[in-house]
């Protein structure tokens, strides 16, 4: 069985290293300009070079996103940017705008190009068109059904990439002006302020100031708020469809999200490869994905129109666990140096997670600062030392239920 590549978001160098460590086959990242997610940390050219070196040393590919839609005024700086980053040995560009693709082909004619989901490819003829333009892989629109994906795979020879996990828009990706209108931040230039997650009411035009709730919980009305995509329960059908890659959304999200999602999909894909016909979905993979913040899961359009099960009519983010610390170093005396991300107290019962669905329990019996001074509790951004199970390794994470 040929497994699809597991493609993970790398919003900065730390997230790239986490994605590599937890089992991604490839990562996608953006520079400081022209890649959507301009509000993510993103990479300087020097950081990109380091990230590419690190990924390649672990057999992981790196794709550089340049998938915004620039205006004429942006073209001179875009050209300068592309020329600056083109010598870096990343594995493919990710672009959406035909003008950007044309410019890439002039500047780096031999470099592989993947088409971004921002290009909204929803049928096999579009896929064939883009293949004729020299595109090697197409990240399909999230709005395609599995039947349409299968038909597209059968009628084209271009590589297809499918979003498997992460946030969804209420429109075809990029075809949404809500953010531009409401906050002056252009989603097509990576600056979306996510107003689709805001609280809305209904106003009749002759009654200004009278706000009627539409669908309500005690927090308000969130009529544009899509659930998050999660396809982990359907990997056998998806793998059989012939897609070349499964993509996890979320360059803006934290290292804990990257670790948790990559390790769950990695485990499921590896089990599928090893077990073939005998493969059975394990609830622990979905439980893992519920341990990070999300909006309630949906399979989106994969099995037909999502209708009401695709919407989240309240604001709540769900999460069963809280990320509290990153293992930075493991010492021979059975202790570890931990970078604290949320308050840790002596006596806490924590869960240790590592790649390959490795988990362990930790009770915080000893807690000191770097200098060895005993602590009752540690706060975010502190570095502490504590006893840790023998299985622990650097880049493991500690989390707390609740
Ligand atoms: S406002 Fe929401 S739907 Fe529109 S582009 Fe931003 S995230 Fe997508």
**Could you tell me which residue, 195 or 330, shows the higher pLDDT?**
330
What residues does 329 pair with on adjacent strands?
337
pLDDT, one tens digit per residue, over 133-153 is 999 999 999 999 999 999 999
C-beta of residue 301 within 8 angstroms of C-beta of residue 143: yes
Rounded-to-integer distance, Cα 143 and Cα 176, Å: 14
Task: Looking at the CA of residue 171, tell me the nearest atom of ligand 1.
Answer: 3
**Is 198 a pocket residue for ligand 1 (Cβ < 6 Å)?**
no
19 CA to centre of ligand 1 in angstroms: 25
pLDDT, one tens digit per residue, over 18-27 is 999 999 999 9
pLDDT, one tens digit per residue, over 44-94 is 999 999 999 999 999 999 999 998 889 999 999 999 999 999 999 999 999
pLDDT of residue 35: 62
Rounded-to-integer distance, Cα 6 and Cα 10, Å: 13
For tokens 């059904």, the residue is 145
**Is 230 a pocket residue for ligand 1 (Cβ < 6 Å)?**
no
**Could you tell me which residue, 301 or 171, shows the higher pLDDT?**
301
179 CA to centre of ligand 1 in angstroms: 7
Domain parsing of the chain, residue ranges: 5-173+225-310, 321-401
C-beta of residue 266 within 8 angstroms of C-beta of residue 178: no
**Is 168 a pocket residue for ligand 1 (Cβ < 6 Å)?**
no
C-beta of residue 43 within 8 angstroms of C-beta of residue 278: no
The CATH number for 5-173+225-310, chosen from 1.10.540.10, 3.20.20.70, 3.40.50.360, 3.40.50.10420, is: 3.20.20.70
pLDDT tops 70 at residue 239: yes
| pLDDT-derived band at 187, boundaries 50, 70, 90 | confident
pLDDT of residue 124: 98
pLDDT tops 60 at residue 308: no
Task: Looking at the CA of residue 197, tell me the nearest atom of ligand 1.
Answer: 2
The CATH architecture that domain 321-401 belongs to is: Beta Barrel (2.40)
Task: Pick the residue whose CA is nearest to atom 8 on ligand 1.
Answer: 169
pLDDT tops 90 at residue 367: yes
Q: What is the pTM of this model?
A: 0.92
pLDDT tops 90 at residue 313: no
C-beta of residue 253 within 8 angstroms of C-beta of residue 9: yes
Q: DSSP of 199-263, one letter per residue?
A: ---B--TTSTT--B-SS-BTTB--TT-BPEEE-GGGHHHHHHTT-SEEEE--TTS-HHHHHHHHH
181 CA to centre of ligand 1 in angstroms: 11
Q: Which of 195, 311, 312 to mutate to test the pocket of ligand 1 (most atoms within 8 A of CB)?
A: 195
Which regions of 251-382 does DSSP assign to beta strands (E)? 297-298, 321-330, 335-340, 344-345, 349-354, 358-363, 368-369, 377-378
């Amino acid at each position: 069985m040929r497994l699809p590549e597991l493609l993970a978001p790398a919003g900065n160098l730390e997230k790239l290293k986490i994605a590599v460590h937890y089992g991604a086959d490839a990562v996608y990242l953006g520079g400081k300009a022209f890649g959507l997610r301009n509000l993510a940390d993103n990479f300087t050219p020097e950081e990109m070079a380091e990230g590419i070196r690190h990924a390649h040393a672990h057999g992981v590919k790196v794709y550089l996103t340049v998938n915004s839609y620039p205006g004429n005024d942006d073209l001179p700086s875009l050209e300068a940017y592309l020329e600056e980053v083109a010598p870096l040995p990343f594995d493919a560009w990710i672009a959406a705008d035909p003008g950007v693709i044309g410019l890439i082909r002039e500047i780096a004619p031999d470099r592989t190009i993947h088409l971004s989901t921002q290009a909204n490819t929803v049928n096999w003829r579009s896929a064939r068109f883009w293949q004729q333009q020299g595109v090697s892989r197409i990240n399909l629109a999230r709005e395609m059904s599995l039947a349409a994906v299968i038909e597209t795979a059968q009628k084209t020879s271009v590589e297809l990439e499918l979003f498997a996990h992460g946030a969804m828009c209420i429109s075809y990706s990029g075809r949404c002006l809500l953010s531009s209108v409401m906050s002056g931040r252009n989603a097509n230039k990576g600056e979306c302020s996510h107003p689709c997650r805001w609280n809305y009411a209904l106003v009749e035009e002759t009654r200004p100031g009278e706000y009627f709730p539409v669908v309500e919980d005690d927090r308000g009305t969130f009529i544009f708020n899509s659930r998050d995509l999660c396809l982990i329960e359907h990997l056998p059908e998806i793998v059989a469809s012939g897609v070349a890659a499964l993509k996890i959304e979320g360059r803006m999200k934290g290292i804990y999200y990257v670790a948790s999602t990559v390790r769950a999909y990695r485990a499921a894909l590896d089990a599928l490869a090893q077990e073939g016909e005998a493969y059975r979905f394990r609830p622990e993979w979905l439980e893992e994905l519920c341990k990070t913040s999300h909006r309630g899961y949906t399979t989106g359009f994969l099995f037909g129109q999502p209708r009401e099960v695709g919407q989240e009519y309240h604001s709540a983010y769900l999460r069963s666990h809280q990320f509290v610390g990153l293992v930075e170093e493991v010492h021979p005396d059975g202790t570890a140096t931990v970078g604290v991300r949320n308050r840790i107290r002596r006596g806490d019962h924590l869960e240790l997670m590592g790649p390959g669905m490795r988990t362990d329990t930790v009770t915080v019996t000893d807690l000191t600062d770097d200098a060895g001074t005993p602590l009752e509790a540690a706060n975010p951004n502190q570095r502490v030392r504590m006893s840790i199970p023998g299985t622990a390794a650097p880049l493991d994470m500690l989390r707390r239920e609740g």
